[in-house]
């Protein structure tokens, strides 16, 4: 089936801790009808099932792991009611919208700040958050670590007394009380994450969507770095996206991060004009 006949979407599987490719025929009844659809993937060793719920724009709105699914169920696509994702919404101590409110009372500024924090987390750079109330700062850090599924202790909470005695440049430093970014950290374009956060914040189950998106990116970025480190000749960008298990549209953002960490992207990665043209048909 050609790329013009189907939509390819990567989702992160919590059971095998890998990105999984879903292919949705654009001519299927569920896709042409619009609304919410379920797509089944049976993969891994031992085989296990993942059921992703996609909206009309093919955004992942929820995931379940049905125990009874069989190999024959792989690729099954069905229309489901919109209310399905409401039952899947995660109950968390600090949800995405509440987290954004702590970063800044203005949603646009909060999204920009959180996007910068997330880029620093992805590149495993130190981050300092400032708040004089330890309980609030700790809850923010717990939420960020949970969203990114990170075990590394990248984020440090300090109060204003410690801040006045510290030189924290060039690390990323954000004042949660004054809603102010003091230092950005590495100069990496965070606009991709801003767009993602703007979209996610408008729909149901935003915490899950952001967590799955982050897990997907963390996995793909790790694969990307492994591939780039092992290359002894150039690779086409379309092939690299496939090997790293990530949506092609996300590749420029990941390559910019990799370049900031010392990878020679210009000599290693070549643009596949024909491949991109075929994908756009």
Range in 21-30, 67-76, 106-115, 141-150 with the lowest mean pLDDT: 67-76
Instruction: Please compute Rg for the chain using Cα positions.
Output: 20
**76: nearest Cα among 25, 40, 34:** 40
pLDDT per residue as tens digits for the range 33-62: 878 899 999 998 888 999 999 988 899 999
The C-alpha angle 219, 60, 115, rounded to 5 degrees, equals: 60
- pLDDT above 80: residue 93: no
- Listed range (48-62, 76-90, 245-259) with the worst mean pLDDT: 76-90
Is residue 237 within 8 A of residue 271, CB to CB? The reply is yes
E strand intervals along 98-240: 127-130, 155-158, 172-175, 180-183, 235-236
Residue with tokens 């910068």: 116
Whole-Å CA distances, 125 to 19, 117, 121, 154, 198: 24, 10, 6, 7, 24
Confidence at 1, pLDDT banded by 50, 70, 90: very low
Cα angle 127-133-134, degrees, rounded to a multiple of 5:
60
pLDDT of residue 3: 59
Q: At what angle do helices 134-148 and 107-122 cross, to 10 degrees?
A: 60
What letters, b where the CB count within 10 A reaches 16 and e where it falls short, cover 246-279? bebebbebbbbbbbeeebeeeebbeebeebeeeb
Q: Contact 233/200 with Cβ under 8 angstroms?
A: no
Start-end ranges of CATH 3.40.50 in the chain? 89-281
pLDDT at residue 102, rounded to an integer: 97
Query: What's the rounded mean pLDDT across residues 132-153?
Result: 89
Contact 144, 177 (CB under 8 A): no
Q: Please give the Cα distance from 247 to 256 (Å, whole number).
A: 15
Tokens (6 digits) for 159: 């109060």
> Mean pLDDT for the chain?
88
Pairing between β-strand 6-13 and β-strand 18-25 as defined by DSSP bridges: antiparallel
pLDDT of residue 242: 95
pLDDT of residue 281: 46
The two structure tokens encoding residue 156: 């440090």
Q: What percent of the chain clears pLDDT 70, i.e. is strictly above it? A: 93
Confidence at residue 2, expressed as pLDDT on a 0 to 100 scale: 44
Whether the full predicted model's pTM is greater than 0.85, yes or no, is: yes
- Quickly name the fold that domain 89-281 has: Rossmann fold (3.40.50)
pLDDT in tens, 183-226: 998 888 899 899 999 999 988 788 889 999 999 999 999 999 99
């Amino acid at each position: 089936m050609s790329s013009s006949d189907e939509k390819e979407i990567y989702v992160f599987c919590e059971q095998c801790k890998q990105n999984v490719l879903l292919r949705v025929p654009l001519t299927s009844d569920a896709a042409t009808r619009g609304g919410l659809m379920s797509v089944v993937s049976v993969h891994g060793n031992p085989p296990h099932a993942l059921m992703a719920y996609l909206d009309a724009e093919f955004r992942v709105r929820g995931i379940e792991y049905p125990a009874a699914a069989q190999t024959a169920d792989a690729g099954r696509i069905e229309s489901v009611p919109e209310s399905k994702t409401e039952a899947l919404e995660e109950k968390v101590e600090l949800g995405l919208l509440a987290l954004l409110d702590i970063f800044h009372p203005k949603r646009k500024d909060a999204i920009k700040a959180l996007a910068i924090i997330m880029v620093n987390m992805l590149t495993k750079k130190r981050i300092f958050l400032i708040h004089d109330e330890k309980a609030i700062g700790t809850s923010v850090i717990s939420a960020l670590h949970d969203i990114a599924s990170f075990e590394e202790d990248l984020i440090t909470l300090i109060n204003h007394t410690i801040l006045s005695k510290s030189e924290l440049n060039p690390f990323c430093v954000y004042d949660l009380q004054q809603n102010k970014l003091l230092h950005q950290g590495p100069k990496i374009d965070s606009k991709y994450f801003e767009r993602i956060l703007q979209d996610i914040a408008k729909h149901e189950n935003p915490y899950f969507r952001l967590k799955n998106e982050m897990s997907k990116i963390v996995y793909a970025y790790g694969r990307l770095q492994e591939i780039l480190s092992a290359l002894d000749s150039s690779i086409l960008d379309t092939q690299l996206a496939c090997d790293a298990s990530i949506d092609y549209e996300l590749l420029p953002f990941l390559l910019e991060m990799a370049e900031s960490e010392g990878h020679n992207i210009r000599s290693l990665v070549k643009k596949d004009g024909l491949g991109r043209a075929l994908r756009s048909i």
